[in-house]
Structure formats: C-alpha cells, structure tokens
Amino acid sequence: MRRLLLQCQVSLQVCSRREIPLPRHHLFSRYLMVRLRWLESVPHLNYVPSWQYPRVWGTIRARPARRLQPPPIDPPRPAAAPRATSQNSATDISARAAFEEHEEDPADGSLDCTRGRVGLRRGRPAPTAMMSRCKISYPSLIVLVLLQGMALLMFYGWYVQVKPQSPPPTQSKVHVLLLSSWRSGSSFMGQVFSQHPSVFYLMEPAWHVWSSAPRVGMRFLRMAVRDLIHRVFQCDFSVMDSYMPEQRNMSKIFMWSHSRALCSPPACSLTPRGQFSNQSQCYKSCDSDGLQKVEDACNTYSHVVLKEVRFFELESLYPLLKDPTLDFRIVHLVRDPRAVVRSKEQSAGSFVRDNAMVLEQRNIPASEVQYQAIQEICRSHVRINERAMLKPPPFLKGRYKMVRFEDIAFNPLKEINDIYDFVGLQMTPELQDWIITVTQGKGKGSTKDAFDITSRNAKAVTQAWRKALPFSKVKKVQDACKGAMSLLGYRTVDNEKEQKNMDVDLLVPKVPFKFNWEVHTKKVAES
C-alpha cells in the first residue's frame, strides 16, 4: 500500500512540473489529495509535505467547474511504538530519503525520467543503488530536433538535384495589349511596337473569333476573345485550331504580314532580326505550313504585343491582370471621335459586320448605324478610363496608360519614348529615324492604304476631318460622344465657321496625371 501511495505522489508531482491540469470533477484525483494529506500526519512514513505540490492542488482548485465535497478525513491513528532498529528498516529509510531527494525539481529546468521502482514491500530489503532510466534536458531536445531538420533538408536537396527538371526561363516576358478602336491610329501604333527588335507583334487576333460567329453580339463573344488573347500571350497557338478548320498555315493569321517577327527568323529568313520589314515582300515569301514556326518565333522575344479593337470593358481583362504568369500592361489609345467617323467613311464597307456586332445585331436604320456605333465606342472609352483612373482595383496599379493619337502626331518622339518606358523597351537610333520618316511625310494618306503604314503628315491627318466632314455630321458625333470628348480632352465646335478655322485649337492640353496609390487608398478607407 505504501508503495502504491508513493507512486501516486510521484505521478502528482510530475503532473505539477509539467503543469498538467487535473479536472476538478475527477473523483479519483480528489481522493488522492485527501489521502496524501492524511499521510502527512503519519510520522513513521516520513512523507513529503503538501507544500511541495502546490501547483497540482492549485490547478484543481482553479477549475471553474462545480466543486465536489471531499470525503471525510479519518482521524489520525496513535503513533505506534518504535520498532527495533534493524538492517531492513535502516535500508528502507535511506532508500526513501534517496527517493525524496531524487524527486526534487532540478535547478536547470530539465525533465527527469522517473527512476526504477524501489522495493518497499514489507520483508523485502530495498536496493541500495537507484536504477536511473534517463535524463533529457530542453536544450538537448532542441538540438535533436534541429539535427533531424537538417537531415531532412539535406535529403531534400539531394532529391531535387537528382530529380530531372526543365531549365527555368532565362528572361521573363512582358505582355502588352494595345487597346483601341477602329480607325484610331492603332495600325500606326502597332507598327511602332512591331518594328522594335525585341517585340513579337500580332494585329487583332480576336478577328478570328468574331469572323467565326458573325451573327451574334460582342458581349456573347467577349469571354472567347479574352481566352484567345490569353493563350496567344503564352505563345500557345493551338487555340487557333478552333478558328482554322481547314488550313492552319501562317498566312491564315489575320494581317500576319504586318508583323515583323513573322517576317524574320525563326519564322522566315527574309528580313534579318534587326532590320525593318516590308509587308508586301513578306506576304509573298514568308508563308509556311502549320503554326509551329509562329510559336517558335513568339518564344524568342522578350515582349509580346497584341493590338486589339474588340474589348469594350476592362472587367473582361481582370483574369489576365490577376494571372501571376503574365506581366500584363495596357496601352489605351484613343482618338477624336469626329476624326474616327471621317476615317471609317473612307472604307465603310469594311465595318458593316463589325458595326452590327457592336450594336448587338439591333435593327437600326442604315443612316444611324455609324452614329450609334461611335456612341457605343465612346461609352466604352469612358468605362475603361474611369475604371482604370478613378476606381482602379489593386491589381491594375501601374499597368494602365492612356494615350491620345493627336499627342503622338504632334510630338511623336516624346510620346513614343514615354510608351516604351512604360512597357520596358529602349528606343534605338534606327527606330527614331523610322518614326520621323513615317510621321513627317507629305500628304494625308488615301483609301488604298487605309490599313497600311506609309509616310504621312501626321499633324495634317489629325485635322483632316475639319474640312472633310459637314457640320451636320460633326454635330451628330458630338451629341453622341459629348461626355467622352470632355473626359478625353477634345473641345466641341458650335458652328461650321469655328470648325473650319484651323487657328482654333480643339485639343485640350494634356495634364500629367500622377496617380498616388497611398492617397487613393486612404480616401477610400475614409469614405
């Protein structure tokens, strides 16, 4: 019985060291506490007093559960007459003293494993030497854990070296979307990107989506357009299989010869990589079977630029902006809507299907189609610009830039340099000469080269509508796009005389807009 009680006390003291709370409603623990207090009054047991295990008692008393009354304590028995000193009793006392000395808390805060059981049965002498099991300190335990972790790391490093892996990309790509509308100078701006030696450029790849479903509206196709753009940005041209059911040749890509990258190695050996391409020669000499060479060419450039006129809201592009594999930038090119209408009239037959899809196939009189279409385009410019500048989501920070075609025409080198800086490209002397040649030519262009880039007088091109359009049409366009013109910085005219007066500047000077993200976030939080 004494041996059992000694073991109970040892268990309770170990619990107190490890601060293991005993449940207050545990009847057995309450019983042990009461019995241990009674054993203190028995002198011949020489028991450890209760002050050496206050944490156990305090832990039990601190429980918020319902208290149970302890059983009544038996009165202490009278002390028995001292027995004759014998070798066995002396051994018992020395063993018990050694046991109590061993159970005291160590000064270094280590955890002692309980020693071997002591023979305290009556008639059996206790061993003179205690059988120790182990003693593990906290620092030793930490060292063991660290050694185990280091072994795991060494094994993982060996496994990674042995496991075959594909080589990481040597240079990350920049993905640029030149977002505009028809006849807004986007073909010229596309060539500004295409002629750069670091750019893989494609012109309006979403044309394939719209041409595959010509009798539906633009909203029905916007997800398909976005998915195609996403795949092309990743140089995955297998997406074209759905839109090229018969022949999957490079020449089947819309306006493929406008891309210098498809006229240069590895797609074609006609034009060396650092030289400017010729569209007509490329069209005759650089066709190839399949699209594998197109993918190979795309993978060799640091920048992938796609010019697109078939996005009418920014929300469709959110998945691309959130994609961590894309370094996505948006260059939003706008133009005076009066000049857009005049330019579209020069090649009106090319936009019949596109106008119908923009207007969601609504039954609109033919005389009003161009005004309804330009109104929808102006609204899209407003939606995109307001979303990007006034209510930008966090993932759009630093990824949007709006450019007016008129600013490029009047100061091409400065504006194009700013655009290059925005997308991470460097201007070259050859590109500077090419830009000056293209923008400072003679004439305003013709219907024949409406989709080609020739040397023109860019300033004269921007003002051509003022003499070509009658004031009645100008007024209709202004009524349809009044809000967009005010937002984008275009002044309206009140009469034909003001329209024809070339000394009146209708372009509001561009004010540099510096978006402060911290200030914007603070204002949103305060509102």
Written as six digits, the tokens of 257 are 């010869």
Pairing mode of beta strands 303-308, 328-334: unpaired
The answer to whether residue 101 is domain-embedded is yes
DSSP state of 109: -
Which of 81-90, 193-202, 431-440 comes out lowest in average pLDDT?
A: 81-90
The CA-based angle 130-134-139, given to 5 degrees, is 140
Q: What tens digit of pLDDT does each residue of 480-503 get?
A: 999 999 999 999 999 999 999 999
Q: Which whole number is the average pLDDT over 335-341?
A: 97
- Are residue 211 and residue 268 in the same domain, yes or no? yes
Q: Which of 223, 393, 250 is nearest to 310 (CA)?
A: 223
What pLDDT is attached to residue 55?
A: 45
How do residues 46-80 score in pLDDT, each as one tens digit?
555 544 544 444 444 444 445 555 555 555 555 55
How many Å apart are CA 368 and CA 398, to the nearest integer? Answer: 39
Indicate if 289 and 364 belong to the same structural domain.
no
- Do residues 10 and 3 touch, judged by C-beta distance below 8 A? no
Q: Is the peptide bond before 394 cis (omega within 30 degrees of 0)?
A: no
87-101, 334-348, 426-440 — which is least confidently predicted?
A: 87-101
Tell me which of 301, 329, 344 is where a domain ends.
301
Mean pLDDT over each residue of the chain, to the nearest integer: 78
Q: Name the more confident of 422 and 96.
A: 422
Residues 293 and 439 in one domain: no
Closest CA to 297 of 337, 259, 258, 338: 259
Query: In this structure, are 496 and 381 located in the same domain?
Result: yes
Where is the domain boundary, 241, 272, 301?
A: 301
**Which of 216, 250, 244 is closest to 228 using CA atoms?**
244
Distance (Å, rounded) from C-alpha 35 to C-alpha 18?
22
Is residue 370 predicted with pLDDT exceeding 90?
yes
Q: Say what the pLDDT of residue 442 is.
A: 64
Same domain membership, residue 331 and residue 460: yes
- Judge if 348 and 423 occupy the same domain: yes
pLDDT per residue as tens digits for the range 171-228? 489 999 999 999 999 999 999 999 999 999 999 999 999 999 888 999 999 999 999 9
Q: What's the whole-number mean pLDDT along residues 240-263?
A: 89
In a domain, 143, yes or no: no
The confidence score (pLDDT) of residue 288 equals 83
372 φ, ψ (degrees, to nearest 5): -65, -40
Domain match, 404 and 524 both: yes
Query: Strand, helix or coil at 142?
Result: helix
Amino acid identity of residue 475, one-letter, is K
Q: Measured between alpha carbons, how far is residue 125 from residues 7, 120, 144, 473, 484 in Å?
A: 18, 7, 40, 121, 105
Report residue 151's pLDDT band, with 50, 70 and 90 as the boundaries: confident
Looking at the fold, whether 258 and 329 belong to one and the same domain comes out as no
Greater confidence (35 vs 395) lies with 395
Phi-psi region of 275 (alpha: psi -120 to 50; beta: other; left: phi over 0): beta
- Asked if the structure places residue 21 within a domain, the reply is yes
Query: Per-residue confidence at 37, pLDDT binned at 50, 70, 90?
Result: low
What is the mean predicted confidence (pLDDT) over 222-235?
96
Q: Is residue 162 part of a domain?
A: no
In a domain, 7, yes or no: yes
- Report the number of distinct structural domains present in the chain: 3
Could you tell me if 134 and 263 lie in one domain?
no
147 domain-assigned: no
Using CB atoms within 10 Å of the CB of residue 278, give its burial: 0 to 12 exposed, 13 to 18 middle, 19+ buried: middle
Per-residue model confidence (pLDDT) at position 259: 95
CB 280 within 8 A of CB 225: no
Say how far residue 451 (Cα) sits from the centre of its chain.
Answer: 37
Which pLDDT score is estimated for 80?
Answer: 52
Residue 416 pLDDT > 60, yes or no? Answer: yes
User: Same structural domain for residues 340 and 281?
Assistant: no
Between 87 and 77, the more confident residue is 77
For residues 27 and 294, what is the distance between their CA atoms, to the nearest angstrom? 81
Single out the residue in 279, 301, 323 at which a domain terminates. 301
Q: What percent of the chain has pLDDT over 70?
A: 65
Closest of 472, 464, 468 to residue 495, by C-alpha: 472
Which residue, 83, 311, 305, 59, is CA-closest to 179? Answer: 311
Reported as a pLDDT band with limits 50, 70 and 90, residue 85 is very low
Q: What is the pLDDT of residue 244?
A: 84
Token pair of 343 as six digits: 């330019």
Looking at the domain assignment, is residue 205 inside a domain?
yes
CATH number at residue 525: 3.40.50
What is d(CA 220, CA 209) in angstroms, rounded to the nearest whole number? 11
Asked, for residue 165, whether it belongs to a domain, the answer is no
Residue 344 DSSP code: H
Q: Is the dihedral of CA 28, 30, 34, 37 positive or negative?
A: positive
Q: How confident is the model at residue 129 (pLDDT cuts 50, 70, 90)?
A: very low
Is residue 375 scored above 90 in pLDDT?
yes
Give the position of tokens 């807009």. Answer: 513
Q: Do residues 43 and 55 both lie within one domain?
A: yes
Question: What is the share, in percent, of the chain residues with pLDDT greater than 90?
Answer: 51
Rounded to an integer, what is the distance from CA 136 to the centroid of its chain?
47
For residues 337 and 454, membership in a common domain is answered with yes
Rounded CA gap, 199 and 217, in Å? 32
Q: Which residue has the tokens 């066995």?
A: 88
The Cβ of residue 231 has, within 10 Å, a number of other Cβ atoms equal to: 15
Q: Quick one: which of 339, 385, 400 has its CA closest to 484?
A: 385
Owning domain of residue 226: 200-301
| Among candidate residues 492, 485, 182, 191, the one with its CA nearest the CA of residue 344 | 182
Q: Are 268 and 262 in contact (CB under 8 A)?
A: yes
> What mean pLDDT is predicted for residues 340-367?
91
How does residue 248 score in pLDDT terms, banded at 50, 70 and 90? confident
